[in-house]
Amino acid sequence: MTLLLALYSVLMELATWLALVPWTLVRRLMGRAPDCELSERLGRLPDLPRAPGPSRRVLIHAVSVGEMAAAAALVRSLERISPELEIMLTAGNRHGARAARRIADASSRVISVSYLPWDRRRAVARWLARLKPDLVVIVETEIWPNLFLACHQRGLRLCMVNGRIYPADLPRYRLARRFFRAVLAGVDWFGVQSVKDKDRFSAIGADPQRIDVEANLKYDAVRHLPAPPAPFPSGRRILLAGSTHAPEEAQLLDVFARLRTRWPALLLVLAPRHPSRARRIARLARRAGFSVRLASQKGVAADCPVMVVDQMGLLPSLYPHADLVFVGGSLAPRGGQNPLEPASAGRCVVIGPDYRHFEDVVEDLRAAGGILVLSGPEELEPTLARALEDESLRTTVGRNAQATTLAKAGCADRYARKLTSFL
């Protein structure tokens, strides 16, 4: 274990100075990285003095937007249950950092937002000494060996919440089970999303006695989505494809061309998982013969057939206006994206056969009649046509989906009470 950790630490130092630092400098020159990112990634933060009084300090790390949504639900519960807490948020990328700043803007207890440092042993130790947390909380599956071991060596309580391990990742973790068993020994408590996740954490070396099956924090996160504007012309029927991957956009455009012969006012909204692909998708739609509007252009003409979302964070505000939602990453072999946001908005949700990353959520919705699951790409057109034609079907599926998300919510308070017990 000592040899493996030493090897890991050497590789992390080399990766930092030979790849990560130069790449961050390049991104900063391109305007894609804030000035503070490099120093924060290197663990160079000013001291963060404690407020006077008996306050306790919790550090919550979430990598990106989805995990930060779960963190937001947890922050709200912690504020309500332990209003004296000081909360620090760290993110793993710029999208997560933006989401963390929105949480901080809405909270009186979040005292700092920063990037998680690269996992270098001494840098992480210095970073923890400056921030002085009493409890470190990791959202989902961010296993950083030097961070975990530094917490253990400093006597800091460390917990994982909303934990999950993708089935496809399990074999890789198991190859290094002895290494991960030593790393995970420093985790005081794991709150995981399902029994399957408990089994997977146990399989890679976590102590089963420290693992509790809770629920998915994202059921709570979707209860607090912002009230959205109405961005579409009245009288249009909206087919929204969220978080899509190639070649799903081409498949949808092909199907859409035939659907429009029956529903001429139908509007297709394509929201790629990575907005940087938006202009490429717009060109694809134009080659297919459609006029296209980008979401950043503000507004859709009454006769425009296709809109492409080119902004991060806009999708949740669009779901409530859709008649029908296709969840991407599920026809392309990507494991699917999260269907909870459109489900909580009471929309009729359609998902492809590959939803392994959200298996428990999809199966919950499916059991309640709150989602339409395709067995293959050939079902996309007939399923969309059936749902567009049958308003009763859309209403029933959407109502069942929304009821399921409401029934499953409430775990954020349980997580918060458990975490405060470690303080």
Residue 370 contacts residue 404 (beta carbons within 8 Å): yes
Any domain includes 370? yes
Structural domain harbouring 125: 35-223+410-421
Q: pLDDT value at position 322?
A: 95
Q: Is residue 10 part of a domain?
A: no
Q: Confidence class of residue 227 from pLDDT cuts 50, 70 and 90?
A: low
Q: In terms of domains, do 151 and 287 share one?
A: no
* 363 and 415 in a common domain: no
Question: pLDDT by residue (tens digit) across 291-320?
Answer: 999 998 877 777 789 999 998 888 888 999
C-alpha pair distances (Å), 63 with each of 55, 91, 99, 114, 342: 26, 5, 10, 11, 22
Same domain, 175 and 236: no
DSSP string, 137-180: EEESS---HHHHHHHHHHT-EEEEEEE---GGGHHHHHHTHHHH
Q: What is the CATH number of the domain that holds 196?
A: 3.40.50.11720
Q: Is residue 29 part of a domain?
A: no
User: Looking at the structure, do residues 215 and 266 belong to the same domain, yes or no?
Assistant: no
User: Could you tell me where the beta strands, DSSP code E, fall in 352-394?
Assistant: 372-373
Distance, in Å, from the CA atom of 348 to the CA atom of 266, rounded to the nearest integer, reads 16
Cα gap 348→272, rounded to integer Å:
19
Question: In terms of domains, do 311 and 236 share one?
Answer: yes
Claim to verify: residue 285 and residue 207 sit in the same structural domain: no
Q: What is the CATH classification number for the domain harbouring 383?
A: 3.40.50.2000
Other CB atoms within 10 Å distance of the CB of residue 413: 17
Per-residue pLDDT of 80-125, as tens digits, reads 999 999 999 999 999 899 999 999 999 999 999 999 999 999 999 9
Domain count for the chain, please give it: 2
CB-neighbour burial class of residue 344 (10 A; exposed 0-12, middle 13-18, buried 19+): buried
One domain, residues 55 and 129: yes
Burial class (CB in 10 A: 0-12, 13-18, 19+), 76: buried
Q: Say whether both 291 and 389 belong to one domain.
A: yes
* Statement to judge: residues 307 and 174 lie in one domain: no
pTM value is 0.89
Residue 197 above 90 pLDDT? yes
Mean pLDDT over residues 199-220, rounded? 94
342-384 per-position pLDDT tens digit = 999 999 999 999 999 999 999 999 999 999 999 999 999 999 9
Residue 82 lies in a domain: yes
pLDDT of residue 201: 96
For residue 322, is it within any domain? yes
